[in-house]
Structure 1
Amino acid sequence: MPWFTTDSPSRVINVALLGNGTVGKEVAQCITERHEELRARSGVAVQLAGVAVGEPSRHPEVPRSLLTTDPYSLATRADVDVVIEAMGGLDPAYPVVSSALESGRPVVTANKELVASYWSQLHKSAAAGHSDFRYEAAVAGAIPLVTPLRQSLSGDRISNFTGILNGTCNYILTAMDIHDQPFDAALQEAIDLGYAEADYARDVKGIDTADKAAILASLSFDTVVDRAAINCEGITNVSITDIRSARDRGHVIKLIASCQRPTHDDDNVPLEIDVRPTAIPRSHPLATVSGATNGIEIEAALAGNLLLCGPGAGGQPTASAILGDLFTVIRNTYA
């Protein structure tokens, strides 16, 4: 299939893709192989203007003319309409994304560490450039979660949320519970299946979950969360003995992120955000969230209790969320 559309539609959207790893490859494939379908849905032609990578020789599937090792130049190039950031990490992601937003280019990102660490700065950059900033893919994979919090539930009052937000950890804990696999074997299986991050320590130490909890708390409670202040414990110390003990008591261990609104509204009272392995009854709705699936319970004053579940790890679920944000950006900016 072509990497560029060959006809002349009324509007062409040039996308700069930063990163071509597990997620980036899925996004590139969707844009290049489904461009007619995307055009039919969006009313515009979407094409890749360039792909920023660390080492071009490792990406033979991408035409050499599209590859660059300079994400900053690509993201701010005059012909680029939208930037999709799938590099991960903070450097060079933060300065590149910030510059793109300030230059008026909408940005879609899957980078939860970036969004959690530079929440205020990136939103200010977007406001300064009058640009759209979207990060549905940064939390819970394919589950529509960020958008409902930004829109559908924005007029409601959320009191708390409790969630399983890391597919890698949930896959490991499920394998330990159901198959009696030791931690190391379950981790290796998660890596082989493409669920784990390149730096899987961020997964198993709970860091990835804490990043996502910070984003959800900022959205849910209309505040700026100090990411460093979140209590965070991963699953590296969960043993088969712990798993079996919980099972014998009718419980299952999950890595749970939870946040409670303070009883009394007071700017001086911090949100209570916690990430830790927790034994929950098997009757609990989140107990049935297994494998690489994510799930979150949200309690709101008007909507009541909501439970959202879906694929939370892997290239395809994340790409689905990125493309959803891309469509939103196109509608908001170029329709």
Structure 2
Amino acid sequence: MPYEVTGVVARAKGEPVSLETVVVPDPGPGEVVVDVQACGVCHTDLHYREGGIGDDFPYLLGHEAAGVVSALGEGVTSVAEGDFVVLNWRAVCGQCRACRRGRPWYCFATHNARQPMTLADGTVLSNALGIGAFQAKTLVAAGQCTKVDPEAPATAAGLLGCGVMAGFGAAVHTGGVRLGDTVAVIGCGGVGSAAVAGAALVGARTVIAVDRDPRKLEWAKGFGATHTVDASQADTVEAIKELTGGFGADVVIDAVGRPETYEQAFYARDLAGTVVLVGVPTPDMRLELPLLDVFGRGGALKSSWYGDCLPDRDFPVLVDLYRQGRFDLDGFVTETIGLGDVEAAFDRMHSGDVLRSVVVL
């Protein structure tokens, strides 16, 4: 029979979130119910609340989550009841042209659970990134569940579900950072710090963290940045060039997603270098660059979707690296909070006081 749980809901654009009774249906074919143990408060949740992603209110927030599978729908064989899983928002279809060409991380037909979750009065909820995990139970497609080592705490493992994976993958998968490369990361919140950590893990010899907030630069050093640039005090492009022998970095990652930071990334890379955009711009933003410069500087301009990750491939590996002490997921957890503290966590996010607040259920 359906479950009733308390969830965090954004009812209208810009209004504070509220705690509401949410009805979670029994899983149908290809679906599972997951008992959520922890869920990170991601900037994407705030975007939903502010109407920056769409206007399909009310939204059921929360998506950076880990927990235990508690019920299976018909035909589910990829996970079993009792499995400890990290949730992801890009369950690949296996059938689209990207999947058939052996590039499932680009899947053009990712999917979520078919059944909706609702408020007690029957109002259909829009789930943040197809998950909706600021509640004790949630309904997802089986393909959104990746089994990982249950010895990892949910507070750490759940962060792989979005921000940490996006940043790590932007460096390692999209940017292709290799041993000996020089790397610069513009914007060192959760995603940018994960890009710093990824670049350091694979052996970049120089990792430059750029931000306007000295606290974030200190955090970035903890994740492996070899140099920092305070963008409020120095010219970002010139500072990166000075730290790379005058040439610019091999890979520059824009984790902010604004025209001015993208332009900085473009001109701060070496000839034939790579720019990776992983920060999410708003629909109104426009970019203007001299086409001759685009041609003359060569290299690659890339966008990173979810760090070009494949959850079944990447999540278990990163959890193993965490368990071995080689990838500091705990370092991203600034505080643990309850469901009723999400709105206050948004305020702390705005002021730059946290990398991640994590809701513990």
TM class, shorter-length: 0.3 to 0.5
- TM-score in terms of structure 2 length: 0.30
Ranked by relative contact order (alpha carbons within 8 Å, sequence separation 6 or more), the top structure is 1
- Tell me which protein shows more strand as a share of its residues: 2
